[in-house]
Amino acid sequence: MYLSEIDVLGEPAPALCPADATPVCDPPDSEAANCFREAHPARWCAPGTAASATCGPLAAPRPIERAVIHTIANASMTAIVNRTATVAGSGTCAHYYVFRNGCIVQMCREANVAFHAGAPVLNRNSIGIEHADVCNDPAPYTRELYERSAALVRDIRIRYAFPLRVFGIHTANRNDATVIAHSDILPGHHGDPGPYWDWEYYTRLLQWDGRAASRPVRLTSLAALNPTTPTGWDARRRPAIGADHCATTHHSYGSTFWRARPNTAGNDVVSRFRLSMPGLYKISLWWPRIDGANHQTMVDVEVQKAGGPARARGILDQSRRFGRWNDIGQPFTFDVPADGARVTVHIRRNSPGRGWILADAVRVLRVG
């Protein structure tokens, strides 16, 4: 597996939106968005609307104290935007819709209440932000989507002067969180944005000061993107996920992952990265939940850079902590000088454990 970094400089510009998604385009409330296209009036209400149980108790201007992160389980964001604008539907809507190329369409004015969080009291003080077009695969969660979404939340947070407290990272109190997943607003009722949403990376983008030198960087290498299966490994398909459902923590990150019996003939799985942006980095692995996974999978890392190499070995329990990013070490971090570095990650076949060794996805994340 191999992935090289593409250099990116400066604050990303808003992407062009599909013309069929924005036939009428008015100025949005946020400078981070591309345009405003109003949702069907059955999907939102204005404060003080007597006929609405949600907006009737609210005086204008309404308080805005948090952003709720959503993703849509649907094959076309353009179709969702058009449907939201023209059809009453189930009465759901978000304030903003972020396409995978970074285009942002606003569909409800921030001064009004969008029906997005699932409960009137939660809608009243929040901004809802929908993302991508499929939450049962990580592919729609592009760098452009993450960066533009974070720029939008940064702008909203500054204008309404609420602190940055990401649920699960800065606080374990749902009521105290100012950036939170839809699934954490009403646990058990919704699954989005799902485990593929990278909260650690997204939080770093929310904290980003916009300078090129401090830009968060995230690279991934997937078994599923390799055209051949290494010798001695068995390719397994990710179970089908319904088009109207998000993935769960039981699923692999890629559509295909590999497994091998320990201490048998075959090759290690090798991922290579070229890092050209100076900074401090760490490495993490993802694997699915399968019966009989190895509890002592050995992973070696070698970093070739000016000033000498850096090496680390991690022993990971793949019978636990599936469906998330697991750091090698505590975590193992390494610095990349100005002239760059080459990183090689080996998932070893030798292990003192007896279960399946899993190779699914590797992430490199800039942490400083």
What HEC string does the chain produce? CEEECCCCCCCCCCCCCCHHHCCCCECCCCCCCCEECCCCHHHEECCCCCCCCCCCCCCCCCCCCEEEECCCCCCCHHHHHHHHHHCCCCCCCCCEEECCCCCEEECCCCCCEECCCCCHHHHCCEEEEEECCCCCCCCCCCHHHHHHHHHHHHHHHHHHCCCCCEECCCECCHHHCCEEEHHHHCCCCCCCCCCCCCHHHHHHHHHCCCCHHHCCCEEEEEHHHCCCCCCCCEEEECCCCCCCCCCCCCCCCCCEEEEECCCCCCCCEEEEEEECCCEEEEEEEECCCCCCECCCEEEEEEEEECCCCEEEEEEECCCCCCCCCEECCCCCEEEECCCCEEEEEEECCCCCCCCEEEECEEEEEECC
* Total count of domains within the chain: 2
CA-closest candidate to residue 242, choices 131, 140, 136: 136
Cα angle at 252 between 187 and 182, to 5 degrees? 20
- Amino acid letter for position 72: I
Output b/e per residue, 46-66; b: 16+ Cβ within 10 A.
Answer: ebeeeebebbeebeeebebeb
Domain check: are 51 and 178 in the same one?
yes
Same domain, 126 and 177: yes
In terms of domains, do 207 and 256 share one? no
What pLDDT does residue 2 have?
39
Do 153 and 291 belong together in one domain? no
Are the C-beta atoms of residues 132 and 143 closer than 8 Å to each other? no
Phi-psi region of 48 (alpha: psi -120 to 50; beta: other; left: phi over 0): left
Structure tokens at 348: 């070893």
In a shared domain, residues 145 and 286: no
357 and 275 in one domain?
Answer: yes
Looking at residue 12, its pLDDT comes to 62
Its domain, for residue 311, covers 218-366
Residues 197, 102 share a domain? yes
Is there a single domain that holds both residue 155 and residue 188? yes
What CATH number corresponds to the domain at position 184? 3.40.80.10
**Same domain, yes or no: 167 and 275:** no
Please identify, among 162, 183, 214, the residue that sits at the C-terminal boundary of a domain: 214
Domain boundary among 214, 233, 263: 214
Q: What is the pLDDT along the chain (368 residues), one digit of tens a residue?
A: 434 343 444 556 678 999 999 998 999 999 999 999 999 999 999 999 987 888 998 999 999 999 999 998 877 899 999 999 999 988 899 999 999 999 999 999 999 999 999 888 899 999 999 998 888 899 999 999 999 999 999 999 999 999 999 999 999 999 999 999 999 987 777 888 999 999 999 999 999 988 888 999 999 999 999 989 999 999 999 998 887 789 999 999 999 999 999 999 999 999 999 999 999 999 999 999 999 999 999 999 999 999 899 999 999 999 999 999 999 987 899 999 999 999 999 999 999 999 999 999 999 999 99
Q: Are residues 23 and 39 in the same domain?
A: yes
**pLDDT given for residue 211 in this prediction:** 85
